[in-house]
């Protein structure tokens, strides 16, 4: 670790951060399960890269890690429910469909909405457009 160039690490962290920001904006504009799953994966990449920077500012990094971990857990729960809907091969079939299955899907989607309602405020604080990593200091975060 002592031989790693910190500039390279910071450059790569910045690239990952901007990738996640892009995925966040895609999700906010098109909340398809595939997009949300991709956001989760890229946010986890960012989270894992942050571990290398703990010694630089432990309080700020740990706070950011905690928020990212919580956010990715909610995104994971959303994805689990999306996979359940896929496994059920659900398609709304109108009045001729299965009302019990329709009701189940509404309940599942309601749970998904609850998870996303916890994700978006945190994601916005971390990944709003035009933000960069230098803004994550104790005074700005």
pLDDT at 134: 67
Give per-residue pLDDT as tens, 54-90: 887 888 889 999 999 999 999 999 999 999 999 999 9
pLDDT at 138: 43
Give per-residue pLDDT as tens, 127-137: 988 877 766 65
pLDDT at 141: 42
Helix axes 99-127, 6-29, angle to 10 degrees: 140
Round to whole Å and give the CA distance between 70 and 59.
Answer: 17
Task: Tell me if 21 sits within 8 A of 127, measured CB to CB.
Answer: yes
């Amino acid at each position: 670790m002592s031989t790693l160039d910190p500039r390279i690490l910071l450059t790569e962290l910045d690239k990952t951060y901007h990738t996640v920001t892009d995925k966040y904006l895609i999700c906010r504009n098109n909340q398809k399960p595939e997009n949300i799953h991709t956001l989760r994966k890229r946010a986890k990449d960012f989270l894992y890269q942050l571990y290398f920077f703990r010694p630089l500012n432990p309080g700020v990094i740990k706070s950011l890690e905690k928020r990212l971990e919580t956010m990715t857990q909610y995104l994971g729960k959303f994805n689990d429910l999306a996979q359940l809907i896929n496994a059920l091969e659900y398609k709304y079939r109108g009045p001729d469909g299965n009302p019990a299955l329709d009701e189940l899907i509404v309940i599942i989607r309601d749970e998904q909405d609850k998870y996303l309602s916890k994700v978006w405020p945190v994601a916005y604080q971390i990944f709003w457009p035009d933000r960069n990593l230098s803004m994550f200091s104790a005074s700005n975060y």
